[in-house]
A and B are shown apart, each in its own frame.
Chain A
């Protein structure tokens, strides 16, 4: 039986008066890729953004329930959010490299966590860029502005940035929706390689992507978790009629 990195019970979330998640119970398993699928507006992004508490930045956001990370509630009063986000990294839908050089995009993240010796920085920058399959393309231009990279390269840079501090979990919020098919393929392959060492949760509205990339899938609809199980099972023999309707493209 695989370990659970996250155990979630009764999770509810709302923006002001609008309730977006209505009681989610789910276990995210370690060292696997869990895909969150469902039509727009079903709460997938809200769900994943609550796991690293990046939703704290949104003014009228409220969340309740038990969201346990290695047995501890991440919303408890004594939780150090900064440390939480070091262990749970996030890659966003629209690539958001810092307006700095490629090197500094990664070095910044290291410096804020207290690593600032030159030799160490160089080493970790190279290691992260290799892990993100970007090193060969940028190794001669590390001082160039990150904004000169293509969309796919920028997104891989953002992944490298996240990997640099060795998180345990990586959350991907529709990472390929702004990218072309070739970049998408590269990133999907990357995710496949990463899963050996990281726990990955990926939100995607692309069902084929979910089928290609994930081990487990969770189908969300209107703020509820309809079905969760092995990706194989969800896609070939879904238990719920709504799941089947979504998978076969009858809506969404």
Chain B
């Protein structure tokens, strides 16, 4: 009798503990957002968007940073999307189960777990030095593309796997070739999920700091990049730079930059989730 009561109390206690754990995570998130907003909202203004960094916190803005981010995102996407989706298609639709395929899959799984700063070292040694691209947008884009490639490949494969086999079977039975089936049946059906994966990968790339610092992206840039071979900075690096300054005035700038970065990340994630929902509703197997 006593034992039974004890067990009941323990069970109820754990229920509360569980709720507390979940609440902990959510509360921290909330506190973080409130803290950042209260620190940085005052700094947000049109001039903040349009100014270059400066020695005076009130005048310092994120112009070079957000333009750099746009450049880098464009180059990264241009490189990573075709390569990643293409590789995903090959591995899921074409590859036979042999040692080479296995080896490639192991490589991809491993690369997904390599710390981002190591990709920075790769970019430094290979793109910046060996290919003599120096600390340019091209080098940065290539490095980030390699970083998000495994993620895109894995999510593309998952999206393709979700397309029922009967679709492919019907297509082959009609006398279609493999590429015709992939291009006209499988890819359109998997399109929404692939896009979701891509957007999530890009939203990760937007916040990446370490690999770009490592290849030499500068932290104080007072000009806009004009081409692929120009030096650059990105939003997270600008934030990092402001946070690292001894003058407290810059902390507000950092917070304001964070608000923008968080907003960007949030929009991209929301878009990805919306896409996933939208496409799941359209295709009813």
Direct touch of chains A and B (CB < 8 A): yes
Q: Which residues of A contact B (CB under 8 A)?
A: 52, 54, 57, 59, 82-86, 89-90, 92, 94, 96-99, 108-109, 111-113, 147, 158, 161-162, 165
Q: Are A94 and B166 in contact (CB under 8 A)?
A: yes
The reply on B169 being an interface residue by CB < 8 A is yes
- In the complex with contacts A96-B166, A98-B185, A99-B167, A90-B173 CB distance below 8 A: yes
Main secondary structure of the interface of B (DSSP, over half): helix
Q: Are A112 and B283 in contact (CB under 8 A)?
A: no
The reply on B245 being an interface residue by CB < 8 A is no
Taking CB atoms, residues of chain A closer than 8 Å to B170 are: 92, 96-98, 158, 161
Q: Are A85 and B167 in contact (CB under 8 A)?
A: no
The reply on B172 being an interface residue by CB < 8 A is yes
Q: Which residues of B contact A (CB under 8 A)?
A: 97, 166-177, 180, 184-185, 188-189, 283-284
Q: Are A54 and B174 in contact (CB under 8 A)?
A: no
Taking CB atoms, residues of chain A closer than 8 Å to B166 are: 92, 94, 96
When chains A and B are docked, how far (Å) is the Cα of A158 from the Cα of B167? Answer: 12
Closest to A171 in B: B173
Taking CB atoms, residues of chain A closer than 8 Å to B189 are: 99
Q: Are B175 and A54 in contact (CB under 8 A)?
A: no
Taking CB atoms, residues of chain A closer than 8 Å to B169 are: 54, 57, 92, 96
Taking CB atoms, residues of chain B closer than 8 Å to A111 are: 184
Closest to A109 in B: B174
Minimum CB–CB distance for B191 against chain A, Å: 11
Q: Are B177 and A82 in contact (CB under 8 A)?
A: yes
Minimum CB–CB distance for A37 against chain B, Å: 22
When chains A and B are docked, how far (Å) is the Cα of A86 from the Cα of B188? Answer: 23
Taking CB atoms, residues of chain B closer than 8 Å to A92 are: 166, 169-170, 173
Total A-B pairs in contact (CB under 8 Å)? 63
Identify 13 residue pairs between A and B in the complex whose beta-carbon atoms are under 8 Å apart, listed by A's number.
A52-B173, A54-B169, A82-B175, A83-B175, A86-B174, A96-B166, A99-B167, A99-B283, A113-B175, A147-B284, A161-B170, A162-B174, A165-B174
Q: Are B172 and A98 in contact (CB under 8 A)?
A: no
Please list the 4 inter-chain residue pairs (A to B) with the smallest Cβ-Cβ separation, ordered nearest first: A86-B175, A85-B175, A96-B166, A96-B170
Q: Are A112 and B184 in contact (CB under 8 A)?
A: yes
Closest to A162 in B: B174
When chains A and B are docked, how far (Å) is the Cα of A161 from the Cα of B167? Answer: 13
Taking CB atoms, residues of chain A closer than 8 Å to B97 are: 59
When chains A and B are docked, how far (Å) is the Cα of A112 from the Cα of B26? Answer: 52
Q: Are A85 and B184 in contact (CB under 8 A)?
A: no
- In the complex with contacts A108-B184, A112-B184, A147-B284, A98-B175 CB distance below 8 A: no
Closest to B165 in A: A57
When chains A and B are docked, how far (Å) is the Cα of A234 from the Cα of B168? Answer: 37
Minimum CB–CB distance for A74 against chain B, Å: 14
Taking CB atoms, residues of chain A closer than 8 Å to B177 are: 82, 112
Minimum CB–CB distance for A144 against chain B, Å: 13
When chains A and B are docked, how far (Å) is the Cα of A98 from the Cα of B171? Answer: 8
When chains A and B are docked, how far (Å) is the Cα of A111 from the Cα of B167? Answer: 17
- In the complex with contacts A96-B166, A99-B189, A57-B172 CB distance below 8 A: yes
Minimum CB–CB distance for A113 against chain B, Å: 7
Minimum CB–CB distance for B90 against chain A, Å: 17
Minimum CB–CB distance for B108 against chain A, Å: 22
When chains A and B are docked, how far (Å) is the Cα of A82 from the Cα of B166? Answer: 17
Q: Are B175 and A165 in contact (CB under 8 A)?
A: yes
Q: Are A85 and B174 in contact (CB under 8 A)?
A: yes
Minimum CB–CB distance for B187 against chain A, Å: 12
Closest to B176 in A: A112
Minimum CB–CB distance for B215 against chain A, Å: 44
Q: Are B174 and A161 in contact (CB under 8 A)?
A: yes
Closest to B171 in A: A98
When chains A and B are docked, how far (Å) is the Cα of A57 from the Cα of B169? Answer: 8
Taking CB atoms, residues of chain B closer than 8 Å to A98 are: 167, 170-171, 185
When chains A and B are docked, how far (Å) is the Cα of A221 from the Cα of B170? Answer: 28
Closest to A59 in B: B97
When chains A and B are docked, how far (Å) is the Cα of A90 from the Cα of B166? Answer: 13
Minimum CB–CB distance for B181 against chain A, Å: 9
Which of B168, B174, B184, B185 has most chain A Cβ within 10 Å? B174
Q: Are B180 and A85 in contact (CB under 8 A)?
A: no
When chains A and B are docked, how far (Å) is the Cα of A161 from the Cα of B175? Answer: 11
Taking CB atoms, residues of chain B closer than 8 Å to A165 are: 174-175
Q: Are A96 and B174 in contact (CB under 8 A)?
A: no
Minimum CB–CB distance for A11 against chain B, Å: 20
Other than A86-B174, A161-B170, give 19 A-B pairs with Cβ distance below 8 A.
A52-B173, A54-B172, A54-B173, A57-B168, A89-B173, A90-B173, A96-B169, A97-B170, A108-B174, A108-B184, A108-B185, A109-B175, A109-B176, A111-B184, A112-B174, A112-B184, A113-B175, A161-B174, A162-B173
- A89 contacts which of B167, B174, B284 (Cβ < 8 Å)? B174
Closest to B189 in A: A99
